[in-house]
Amino acid sequence: MKEKEVSDSLVTMTEMVLPTHTNSLNSIFGGVIMSWIDIAAAICAQRHCQKPVVTASIDDLHFIQPVYKGWIVNLKACVNFTANTSVEVGVRVDAENPIEGETFHTASAYLTFVALGEGGKPSQVPSIVPVTDEEKRRFEAAQKRRQWRLERRDYFSKK
């Protein structure tokens, strides 16, 4: 299976916060942002794997700043790490106030996807090749997160 670079599957997605996305404070529901994160990450993972993928986990989702009605939300997703049948995708969410011309980091998350093959069974994924210093840093950090995820899974499966 051919290795791939991070740049091969990058995703940039833009959304506008509409009234249906907001709560009584005119700020966006966290679940809407979570949905957009999952979509951007799934597109990224599917591009990398070139096969169907399913979300296995979402961890370390942190909301940093509120996002208000009429603002623009930019999501950037990239593959940080690959294992045998899974990929970790990191997503950064920035909100843009188009009236003030300011951009704010509003959320970040890490998602794990499993690639599916014949009969919906987990299927091998291409390896990721980090090229830049930043990609290498994210790769190493993702290895640690994967280990923590596996430890948590083992811990909770015994209960």
- Residue-wise pLDDT tens digits, 105-134: 999 999 999 999 999 999 999 999 999 999
Neighbours of 25 (CB within 10 A): 9
Question: pLDDT per residue over 1-34, tens digit each?
Answer: 799 999 999 999 999 999 999 999 999 999 999 9
- The β-bridge partners of 16 are 72
Range of the domain at 144: 4-157
Strands 128-129 and 4-5, sheet pairing: parallel
Whichever domain contains 26, its CATH number is: 3.10.129.10
Q: Rounded to 5, what percent of the chain is helix, strand, coil? A: 35, 40, 25
- Total count of domains within the chain: 1
pLDDT of residue 60 exceeding 80:
no
Q: Which amino acid is at 70?
A: G
